[in-house]
Amino acid sequence: MEIKSTDNDSFRLVYDKCYSVLIRICYHVVYNMDIAEDLVQEAFERFYLKNITFPNEDEARYWLIRVVRNLALNHLRRGKRESAMLDKVRNRAAGKAADKDAQRILDEGETIKEVRKAVSELPENLRMVIILKEYGGLDYKSIGKVLGISEGNVKIRVHRARKKLEESLAGDEAYVY
């Protein structure tokens, strides 16, 4: 089905179908729920305002994931100082999402911290692939489309990312074979 981004029905359809994937991917790049929400929202705004016609739902989804990925990476690159200040302000403004987020990390203890550290330390090309795979639930073909690389390349990157994660998580108490 053709998707016209300014058509209200198409927009709603894409929004409902893609939101979960987008927020998961975005959250695992920036690790902050409030920021992730803002960035995903910005991606949908761009989607609507760009007035693009996609041949099908999948293409619209790839486009959105690409935009969210870029927004999230840009956010990270903008510098830790700025984002740290922003986080402070956001948390002070009692962001509901951020509160829940913090609570969850507290509940889950060290495991989440270790996982995040391991994922964050991956080189960007491997990190993005593993986030799209493990959190976005995308298959190799979709990952290839989003990142503009071949399926074979995706396969290799997923494997390398897992190897690296295995190394960095090895010896961690929380990681039980």
Judged by the rule CB under 8 A, the positions of this chain that interact with other proteins are 15-16, 19-20, 23-24, 27-28, 33, 36-37, 40-41, 44-45, 48-49, 97, 100-101, 104, 108, 111-112, 115-116, 119, 130, 133-135, 139-140, 155-156, 158-159, 162-163, 165-166, 169, 174-177
Q: How far is the CB of 81 from other proteins (least distance, A)?
A: 25
Q: How far is the CB of 120 from other proteins (least distance, A)?
A: 11
- Our CB check for other proteins shows the closer of 55 and 117 to be 117
Alpha-carbon gap, residue 57 to 3, rounded angstroms: 6
Alpha-carbon gap, residue 109 to 151, rounded angstroms: 36
- Our CB check for other proteins shows the closer of 58 and 110 to be 110
Please state the three-class secondary structure of 49-108 as a single string: HHCCEECCHHHHHHHHHHHHHHHHHHHHHCCHHHHHHHHHHHHHCCCHHHHHHHHHHHHH
Q: How far is the CB of 102 from other proteins (least distance, A)?
A: 12
Provide long-range contacts, Cβ within 8 A and 24+ apart, for 105-108. none
* Contact status, residue 35 vs residue 76, Cβ threshold 8 Å: no
Q: How far is the CB of 78 from other proteins (least distance, A)?
A: 22
- Our CB check for other proteins shows the closer of 86 and 156 to be 156
- Our CB check for other proteins shows the closer of 37 and 57 to be 37
Q: How far is the CB of 84 from other proteins (least distance, A)?
A: 21
**Burial of 79 from C-beta contacts in 10 A (0-12 / 13-18 / 19+):** exposed
- Our CB check for other proteins shows the closer of 85 and 104 to be 104
